[in-house]
């Protein structure tokens, strides 16, 4: 897609971008998505981005402050990119999907739940029970409609009784947090062993629209 394409759409509000089908550099994309060029951009979905943390940060730090939805299907989302996301958009994000980013860590995911008070939809790969234990503070995203994340027991213990107690305590912590999310709706609980751990997924199922 030619760079001049963007010049036609100053009032662009939503963009879904597959980098694998384009020759744009991340720097070039960042330039075209800056505040003064796309002041109304609210939703951005990037896929096929084989990019470093620094390259992705170049985009995130220059996106309009009007951004409410951010999805990233791949790429090395690291601490630099996360810091820009945290500083600029934690107060405004409504939808965040980083499920496809292996480098989006458990700690980062937990920080989102602890700080993004406007969040309605959140997808991430995993949160470890060790991180959950270390920060048992209440999640602030009480308006959450959709939450998809796997909670993993990452603490190895040869004592089976201790392991069972820890899993039970982990379950209690997770469900205590979930019980405060009054808008979450139906939850799907999946318990299965994967390596040393259990998995829990919460998925909100929206009721079908009524047709009169």
Q: How confident is the model at residue 4 (pLDDT cuts 50, 70, 90)?
A: low
pLDDT in tens, 134-170: 888 999 999 988 888 888 877 666 655 566 676 677 7
Q: Is residue 116 part of a domain?
A: no
Q: Is residue 50 part of a domain?
A: yes
Residue 60 has pLDDT above 60, yes or no: yes
Q: Is residue 34 part of a domain?
A: yes
Residue 20 pLDDT? 61
**Top-confidence residue, 111 or 11:** 111
Closest Cα to residue 74, out of 106, 29, 34, 104? 104
Q: Is residue 198 part of a domain?
A: no
**pTM to 2 decimals?**
0.82
- Residue 49: which CATH number? 3.80.10.10
What's the domain range around 8?
Answer: 3-104
Q: Is residue 132 part of a domain?
A: no
Q: Is residue 80 part of a domain?
A: yes
Cα 45–Cα 209–Cα 69 angle in degrees, nearest 5: 20
Closest Cα to residue 52, out of 15, 90, 25? 25
Map residue 6 onto helix, strand or coil: helix
Q: Is residue 165 part of a domain?
A: no
Instruction: Count how many domains the chain has.
Output: 1
Q: Is residue 90 part of a domain?
A: yes
Q: How confident is the model at residue 91 (pLDDT cuts 50, 70, 90)?
A: very high
């Amino acid at each position: 897609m030619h760079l001049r394409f963007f010049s036609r759409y100053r009032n662009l509000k939503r963009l879904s971008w597959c980098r694998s089908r384009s020759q744009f550099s991340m720097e070039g994309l960042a330039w075209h998505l800056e505040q003064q060029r796309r002041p109304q951009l609210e939703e951005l979905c990037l896929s096929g981005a084989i990019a470093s943390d620094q390259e992705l940060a170049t985009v995130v730090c220059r996106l309009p402050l009007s951004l409410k939805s951010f999805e990233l299907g791949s790429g090395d989302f690291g601490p630099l990119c996360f810091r820009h996301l945290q500083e600029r958009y934690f107060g405004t994000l409504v939808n965040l999907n980083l499920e496809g980013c292996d480098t989006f860590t458990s700690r980062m995911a937990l920080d989102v739940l602890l700080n993004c008070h406007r969040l309605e939809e959140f997808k991430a790969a995993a949160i470890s029970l060790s991180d959950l234990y270390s920060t048992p503070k209440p999640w602030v995203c009480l308006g959450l409609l959709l939450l998809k994340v796997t909670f993993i027991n990452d603490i190895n213990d040869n004592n089976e009784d201790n392991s069972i107690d820890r899993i039970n305590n982990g379950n209690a912590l997770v469900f205590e947090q979930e019980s405060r999310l009054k808008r979450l709706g139906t939850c799907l609980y999946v318990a299965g062993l994967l390596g040393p751990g259990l998995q829990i997924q919460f998925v909100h199922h929206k009721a079908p629209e009524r047709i009169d």
